Amino acid sequence: MAEPTVPAAFDVIVREVTDLAANVDDASAERALDLIDRSHRVFVHGAGRSGLALRMTAMRLMHLGRDVHVVGETTTPAIRPGDVLLVASGSGTTSGIVQAARTAHDVGASVVALSTTDDSPLSEVADVTLVLPAATKTDRSGTASAQYAGSLFEQAVALVGDALFHTLWSRGGQSADDLWPRHANLE
């Protein structure tokens, strides 16, 4: 058996991401995009690496000039009607994320969920669930993904966020120069 190499690992990751992207429901993706586009403000919430991926999405939406908040930050205001909560949970059962989605729904905000399943407590409360066909973090069978834990799901969350951003940016007519002044300058 050949020794594992970084190029071989890249091949596995790229193949898995490509296969996953080919199986994302276009209608659900457009519905998610529409809810985000029509919202007054966008709130993002996820745990662990999924949460980190959603922070990347929050940054890009801010670059578009959107009012974006990361749940849990001290400056995050109350969510209200007209807002959207974008959440990620591979299993759709992460208690803090499900509770945040219920709260958002109860106050009249929309909920967009990224998950590996549309049969979960999170999907029950979400306005739209964009299913990302990947292994959850507890699936160690190697069937849905050769990667460790929820790596493929987390990668997909980051890429979906970039795809949502890129679509909104392309449709919005702003140039890269228009977005640049919103880029962080306190780095």
Q: Is residue 136 part of a domain?
A: yes
Instruction: From the candidates 16, 30, 124, 154, give the one annotated as an active-site residue.
Output: 154
Count of domains observed in the chain: 1
Q: Is residue 5 part of a domain?
A: no
The proportion of the chain whose per-residue pLDDT surpasses 90, expressed as a percent, equals 89
Mean pLDDT, rounded, of the chain = 95
Structure tokens at 164: 């949502």
Residue whose structure tokens are 């980190």: 52
Checking if the pLDDT of 20 tops 70, the result is yes
Q: Is 134 helix (H, G, I), strand (E, B) or coil?
A: coil
Q: Is residue 35 part of a domain?
A: yes
Q: Is the distance from CB of 36 to CB of 164 less than 8 angstroms?
A: yes
Q: Is residue 63 part of a domain?
A: yes
Dihedral (Cα; 156, 38, 182, 178), 10-degree rounding: 100
For the question of residue 30 being annotated catalytic, the response is: no
Give the C-alpha separation, 175 to 35, whole Å: 23
What is the predicted pLDDT for the residue at 112?
A: 98
Q: Is residue 1 part of a domain?
A: no
Q: Is residue 103 part of a domain?
A: yes
Per-residue confidence band for 23, with pLDDT thresholds at 50, 70 and 90: very high
What is the predicted pLDDT for the residue at 68?
A: 98
pLDDT in tens, 28-63: 999 999 999 999 999 999 999 999 999 999 999 999
pTM over 0.85, yes/no = yes
> Which structural domain range is residue 96 located in?
22-73+80-174
pLDDT in tens, 146-172: 898 899 999 999 999 999 999 999 999
